[in-house]
Structure 1
Amino acid sequence: MTTGKINVSVENIFPLIKKFLYSDHEIFLRELVSNGTDATLKLKHLISIGEAKVEFGNPVIEIKVDKEGKKIHIIDQGLGMTADEVEKYINQVAFSGAEEFLDKYKDSAKDSGIIGHFGLGFYSAFMVAEKVEIITKSYKDEPAAHWTCDGSPEFTLEPADKTSRGTEIILHVAEDSLEFLEDSKISGLLNKYNKFMPIPIKFGTRTETLPKPEDAPEDYVNETIETDNIINNPNPAWTKQPTELSDEDYKSFYRELYPMQFEEPLFNIHLNVDYPFNLTGILYFPKLGSDLQIQKDKIQLYQNQVYVTDNVEGIVPEFLTMLKGVIDSPDIPLNVSRSGLQADGAVKKISNYITRKVADKLKALFNENRADFEQKWNDIKIVLEYGMLSEDKFYEKAGAFVLYPTVDDTYFTLEELKEKLKENQTDKDGKLVVLYAGNKEAQHSYIETAKEKGYEVLLLDSPIISHLIQKIEGDNKDLTFVRVDSDHIDNLIKKDENTISKLSDEEKETLKTSLEAYIPKAYSVQLEAMDSQAAPFIITQPEFMRRMKEMSQSGGGGMFGMGNMPEMYNLVVNTNSDLATNILNTEDKTHQEHLVKQALDLAKLSQNLLKGEALTAFVKRSFEMIK
């Protein structure tokens, strides 16, 4: 029997590992199963190149829980270790057998799927165990070895009587970690971290009901058998080529990832690149609508099919974190506990690739079936608009497929929109004016007035649209977006013709003074000469002030403090209307006040601004007028 000291630089390495290296103690199972997977994949590779003269068979990794004995067993059928290899790989903390293997066989083993990047993974066992045993037999014709350590730097290494190839790790679970002896706990961890490992993982058995024979009598009772409970899918969809998968395969995998998600995804994007880095994955576009507060962190990050995290910030561009799916890359730099990212230039390259791939896929979907793309627009627009704001590279490509719908459900790209509007909606200064509404119902009267002029009105109702149109205007100097209720229609798109007011300047001054006596200070009175058939009172919100306020409220942009400013409105009074003349000529101040308040309330009603006490007073006053 050999005894000795583990080669570590400090005596208290195990407390450090337990307290600081791994923030979640549950990681131990992921690490030990990953080690077993590596051992199996290494053997498979050595057999494939003729270096190991053994049968590979159908290896599994088995997890056993001995609740009474307070032990957990992790058993693999991989290449195993000799006593010398135990000395080398186990007794030298942070010596990575996987890295050495990949370096030795770097040309032939690059696609073998070997996981490890460092040798600390095994020692995560001491986070939950007071003693750890390794019983291992190499595929080589050498004796088995039995290594034991109680969490101190002291260990024992002696021959073992194991006859089958592979390694068994036995954890003697510590008193403060007895929760890991529960089957439900282990099952949950295996499903979380090892659900898509490339080697089948067995945890207990399950009862399977056999099908009923065709000639069975009516009272036949189906037979049942006990079969291995394999908890993982070793060949998940993202490891296959897109040509091997049907639409139903992608949807089936989505349901496997998100069993509690009952809505089908709109479409998916299959990622597959091997230069200048290796990355595979599938991203799904769920139905999102216009809600920016949706739950993120639904994309799962894997490394060689080992779950790492669902926080993919940095790898996936911010705007795509609203999607769902899987990304797998052996080239993503992780910290030593494999639980988070390290800062690295490769991460930015991966992020740029994903951005480009998503943009190319969206363009292809748009070109292949525009009608279907338009139908899905409202469910995906928030992601694309956010992407245009946050990623310059995406913004550059988005012009080919981002849509601008009208209130009549017609869809245009920006270039199509410019061509459509240039003849009728170019103002006297040569600027193209794009009219839009944020709420088709609330702004209905303004929309109808614009349509009577032959103008197109877009429906732009996402919470970040003010930011986006500000950016688009910055890149298109001869184009401006104006909400349809920000002024009366003749001022929105100013032409050369001017309407003459039938009131003199003196009469207009008198009218304005009378109006301001009854109009609340939140409204700025503006007198405008319009068509006599146009509405006498129109409430508008100045485009600049409203947009700055919206941008400030939705985060970023706008002007400091604007988000908390009270709403400001213009009251545009048509000086050519009969009502304006009546108000001007009415000598009875009480009647004049009733006319002004009634007209103002009607204008507020059309903007959905009449509420509470003011609405009650309006209804009462209206009934009084028609008695």
Structure 2
Amino acid sequence: QKALWLRDKDEISDEDYEQFYMAIAKDHMGPLAYTHFSAEGAIEFKAILFIPKKAPYNFMENYWEKKSEIKLYVRRVLVADKFDELLPRYLNFITGVVDSDDLPLNVSREQLQQNKILKVISKKLVRKVLEMIKKLALEDEKLKAEQAKVSDEEEEEDKSSKDKETDWDKFYSAFGDNLKLGCYEDDANRSKIAKLLRFKTTKSGDKVISLDKYVENMDENQDSIYYMSGETIDVMKKNPSLQIFNKKGIEVLLLDNQLDEPCMQRLTDYDGKKLVSIQKADVKLDETEDEKKRFSKLQKMYKPLTKWYKDILAKASKEDPEANYNYGVAAVTISKRLVDAPCVVVSDQFGYTAQQEKIMRAQAFQDKTQLQMMTGRRTLELNPDH
């Protein structure tokens, strides 16, 4: 009998795919999703790829050691039971088989790794995996859009179906961190991966939304996507930096995963909209002419105060041998972002946010010189209306 991946897809049942997956993955649960395809053109190969329903135990803790679960065949001969070079590390949860007639059979693993044909195969596999994940996301959006149309009368009886976890929910719960690592690591596919990311916001409640949904919700005059990072959602919602955004009704992404912020910094923009941290000193919001004039007057009025504050911090830090330069404060200014709070400390454009600093300090082998430099670029903002 022909190997499953060589057979016509129309002749193969879902049960056949499930049994095949359980045999090669040694997983009794069956796959969450799969794709079976033949690549044609200059380089031809056949492949079946599966997404598991659950991540293995200690999956992210073993991220750097975890081996690929792709079996590589050349002309129906198994040449590698776990071949790492077929998929990037962030997709190491994918299980499957790849069979190519174009790869050389009698070469060492090291020679095979450098083979140009393998790089082309890898590129196509990544595209197919991301398409499979995108399909899960689209099915989820369609289902939830249908559920949102349920009338108030039907809401109670449909509650069980509305609360039911979808395949996308299961996938994102298990492998969402992999997508964020992919956003950080994979320059070629970053824009595709960004469409699959989900975040809580100041307006989404307990739900998560896509960046597409955020852009859809934006006011027509808003030209940036705003985000902030923190240890928990509750902590972020109390952050003074958020006050002006709440007052103006501007939605802000709340990043509570340590992988979120590095991912955002690599992404830089989305759908033509710049990604902006509201915890940085260079945040700009739309202002009326009256607001601009008022702020200019306040800056002049409080210039002696801001200079005095900066001098005090400089003097105190000189007297404290443990202190960072000026206690990490490079500037003292009047704030545009504060409503109720008396002051806030923000990072400059290239400095670490408080959450990044916390993560960096927790690392055993961090570069202390770089850490001091990146945390020594803060701005103390004072509320002129407090």
How far, CA to CA, are the matches of 2:89 and 2:379 in structure 1? 41
TM-score by length of structure 1 reads 0.43
Partner-residue secondary structure (3-state), 2:253: strand
1:366 paired residue among 137, 143, 168: 137
- Distance (Å, rounded) in 2 between the aligned partners of 1:310 and 1:268: 19
* Contact in 1 for aligned 2:351/2:378 (Cα 8 Å): no
**Deviation of the 1:390 alpha carbon:** 5.3
* 1:537 pairs with 2:331: no
Instruction: Show the counterpart of 2:380.
Output: 572
Q: Where does residue 50 of structure 2 map in the other structure?
A: 283
Residue of structure 2 equivalent to 1:526: 332
Partner of 2:175: 380
Name structure 1 gaps, 5 residues minimum. Answer: 1-197, 199-234, 427-431, 554-558, 579-627
Partners of 1:271 and 1:575 lie apart in 2 by 60
CA distance in structure 1 between the aligned counterparts of 2:230 and 2:178, rounded to whole angstroms: 18
The answer to whether structure 1 residue 394 and structure 2 residue 160 are counterparts is: no
CA–CA separation in structure 2 for the residues paired with 1:531 and 1:470? 22
Cα deviation, 1:310-330, whole Å, max 9, x if unaligned, reads 442443345433422322334
Query: Which amino acid letter does the alignment assign opposite residue 541 of structure 1?
Result: S
1:320 maps to amino acid: L
Match of 2:125 in 1: 354
Q: Are the structure 2 counterparts of residues 419 and 342 from structure 1 closer, same or farther at C-alpha, using a change threshold of 3 Å?
A: closer
**Does the CA contact (< 8 Å) of 1:314 and 1:351 recur in 2?**
yes
The answer to whether the Cα contact below 8 Å between 2:350 and 2:374 also exists between their aligned partners in 1 is no
Q: Distance in 1 between matches of 2:227 and 2:384?
A: 25
Q: Which amino acid aligns with 2:346?
A: T
Can you list the C-alpha shifts for 1:28-74, whole angstroms capped at 9, x where unaligned?
Answer: xxxxxxxxxxxxxxxxxxxxxxxxxxxxxxxxxxxxxxxxxxxxxxx
Q: 1:508 to 1:397 in 2, by over 3 A?
A: closer
Match status 1:455 vs 2:250? yes
Question: 2:215 aligns to what?
Answer: 418
For the residue of structure 2 that corresponds to 1:443, the secondary structure is helix
Q: Contact (CA 8 Å) 2:306, 2:332: kept in 1 or not?
A: no
State whether structure 2 residue 33 is matched by structure 1 residue 267: yes
1:290–1:378 CA contact under 8 A, matched in 2:
no
Work out whether residues 405 and 458 of structure 1, in 8 Å CA contact, stay in contact via their aligned partners in 2: yes
Contact preservation (8 Å) 2:72, 2:98: yes
The residue number in structure 2 matching 1:505 is 303
Aligned mates of 2:374, 2:338 — CA distance in 1: 32
- Structure 1, residues 270-298: CA drift from partner, whole Å, max 9, x if none? 23346542323323256558765461322
2:295 is equivalent to residue 295 of structure 1: no
- Alpha-carbon distance in 1 for matches of 2:265, 2:339: 34
Distance 2:192 2:339 in 1: 46
- CA pair 392-437 structure 1, distance change in 2 beyond 3 A: closer
Work out which of the residue numbers 269, 273, 278 in structure 2 matches 1:479.
273
How far did 1:387 drift? Answer: 4.5
Tell me whether 1:253 sits opposite 2:20 in the alignment.
yes
**Residue by residue, what CA displacement relative to the aligned partner does 1:537-568 show, whole Å, maximum 9, x if unpaired?**
32323342228x969x8xxxxx9x74685634
Q: How many residues align?
A: 328
Helix, strand or coil for the counterpart of 1:358?
Answer: helix
Contact kept? 1:300, 1:327, Cα under 8 Å: yes
Report if aligned partners of 1:550, 1:563 keep a CA contact under 8 Å in 2.
no
Bigger proportion of residues as helix: 2
Cα distance change of structure 1 residues 339 and 567 upon mapping to structure 2, 3 Å threshold: closer
Matched to 1:545, the amino acid is G
Task: Tell me how far apart the structure 1 counterparts of residues 125 and 7 of structure 2 sit (CA, whole Å).
Answer: 18
CA contact (8 A) 1:302 1:309 kept: yes
Distance 1:264 1:354 in 2: 21
Name the CA distance, whole Å, in 1 between partners of 2:185 and 2:337.
44
CA distance in 1, matches of 2:4, 2:95: 14
Shift in Å at residue 351 of structure 1? 1.9
- Taking the aligned partners of 1:237 and 1:550, their CA distance within structure 2 comes to 48
Q: 1:305 to 1:461 in 2, by over 3 A?
A: farther
Asked if structure 1 preserves the Cα contact closer than 8 Å seen for 2:309 and 2:332, the reply is no
Name 2:236's counterpart in structure 1: 443
Alignment CA distance shift 1:465-1:531 (3 Å): closer
The 1:356–1:495 alpha-carbon spacing in structure 2 relative to 1, beyond 3 Å, is: same
Q: Report 1 or 2 for greater relative contact order, CA contacts < 8 Å, sequence distance ≥ 6.
A: 2
1:307 partner letter: L
Distance in 1, Cα, partners of 2:356 & 2:335: 30
Kept after mapping to 2: 8 A contact 1:374/1:411: no
Q: 2:287 aligns with which of 482, 491, 495?
A: 495
Larger Rg belongs to: 1
1:545 and 1:441 map into 2 onto residues whose CA distance is 24
Deviations 1:206-232 (A, max 9, x none): xxxxxxxxxxxxxxxxxxxxxxxxxxx
Aligned partners of 1:236, 1:347: CA distance in 2, in Å? 21
Q: 1:237: how far off?
A: 4.8
Write out per-residue CA displacement over residues 549-597 of structure 1, whole angstroms, 9 at most, x where no aligned residue: 969x8xxxxx9x746856346353424365xxxxxxxxxxxxxxxxxxx
- d(CA) in 2 for partners of 1:421 and 1:322? 35
Cα pair distance change 1:467/1:504, threshold 3 Å: closer
Are the counterparts in 2 of residues 335 and 341 from structure 1 also a CA contact under 8 Å?
no
* Partner residue in 1 for 2:153: none
Letter of the 2:98 partner, please give it. Answer: I
Alpha-carbon spacing, 1:282–1:515, altered in 2? closer, same or farther (3 Å): closer
The amino acid that maps onto 2:328 is Y
Distance change >3 Å, CA 334–CA 540, structure 1 → 2? farther
- Please give the alpha-carbon distance, in whole angstroms, between the structure 2 residues aligned to 1:306 and 1:532: 66
Contact 1:434/1:479, CA 8 A, preserved across alignment: no
**What amino acid is the match of 2:285?**
I
Task: Judge conservation of contact 1:404–1:411 (CA < 8 Å) in 2.
Answer: yes
One-letter amino acid of the counterpart of residue 238, structure 2: S
Q: Distance in 2 between matches of 1:452 and 1:425?
A: 15
Find the aligned partners of 2:261 and 2:196 in 1 and give their Cα distance. Answer: 16
Q: Counterparts of 1:14-53 in structure 2 under 5 Å? A: none
Task: Say if 1:290 and 1:379, in contact at 8 Å, map to a contact too.
Answer: no
Provide the alpha-carbon RMSD of the alignment.
Answer: 4.4
Q: Which runs of 5+ in 2 are unaligned?
A: 145-165, 318-322, 361-366
Q: 2:98 is matched with which residue: 312, 327, 352?
A: 327
Task: Kindly provide the amino acid, as one letter, of the partner of residue 123 in structure 2.
Answer: N
Deviation at 1:337, TM superposition (A): 6.3
